Amino acid sequence: MSGRERLAGFVGGMIAGAAGGLFGVGGGVLLVPILAGRFRLTQHQAHGTSLAVIGVTALAGIVVYGRAANVDWRTALIVGLGSIVTARWGARWANRLSSMRLRQVFAVFLVAVALRLLLFETPTRFDAGFHHGWQGVAFDLALGAAVGLLAGSMGVGGGMLAVPAFTLFLGMSQQAAQGTSLAVILFTGPAGAFEHARHGNVLWRLVPVLAAGAVIAAPLASWLAQHLPHPTLVRAFAVFLLANATITWFKAGRRLATAP
């Protein structure tokens, strides 16, 4: 690997780490395009390599969220366990099927959630009284299954699904939702990466330099997230979702248009 490639990988890791720490996501939604574009990896390789890195991003960021008591460890454990099996399924599907239509559906979901957060200063939350006993466990497992499928198939940590679910359905603060999401990514990232690696879709030579950048940026961004006012952080996250929805939609459209 050339010095220029190492520098590009380090910067790419920092970008992913900053997104992960600031918004409670793994950063894969930014890292995948970098890997596919700058490093010319195939889409499958970009997904697999991203998953191998985002677990490190989550670990670096969660230290800060944990010290600020912004991690619901019990919920993260159950959701994380629910995501392990489906993350591997998602990775298998990604290696067999085109996910362009799924990307477009997911982009619409992101827009809906982002608009909900932007249009109302304090989003109306569902009564989280159901979140106890077997009902709570069932909800967490179902959410984990959905997060795992998303993570494994698209090379992301699943935080874009987990964070809105934690805030809107369980009534968590934005910071607590993001910290809990990072804890979940500790499960989804390695599980998805393992399955992608079985298919040869993880370029291990890139992982250390990407991880180095993420380890530096994630704690700094996580620290910043603890000090931002709740409305500011919610709106920043909503804009982040809109930007990624736009990118996801148009990339999917271009691929469908050029597909044979």
State the pLDDT at residue 204.
Answer: 94
Structure tokens at 101: 């239509």
Domain boundaries, the chain: 3-258
State the pLDDT at residue 112.
Answer: 76
- pLDDT tens for the chain, 260 residues: list them: 788 889 999 999 999 899 888 888 777 777 887 887 788 888 788 888 999 999 999 999 999 999 999 999 999 999 999 999 898 888 777 666 555 665 666 677 678 767 866 775 454 555 566 777 888 899 999 999 999 988 887 767 788 789 888 988 888 988 999 999 999 999 998 988 988 898 898 999 999 999 999 999 999 999 998 988 877 877 887 887 788 778 767 776 665 555 55
State the pLDDT at residue 212.
Answer: 96
Q: Measure CA 36 to chain center.
A: 17
> How many Cα atoms within 13 Å fall on the side-chain side of residue 54?
41
Structure tokens at 65: 């969220």
Could you give the CA distance from residue 91 to residue 28 in angstroms, rounded to a whole number? 14
Structure tokens at 221: 């961004």
Q: How many residues does the chain have?
A: 260
Burial class (CB in 10 A: 0-12, 13-18, 19+), 184: buried
> How many Cα atoms within 13 Å fall on the side-chain side of residue 259?
10
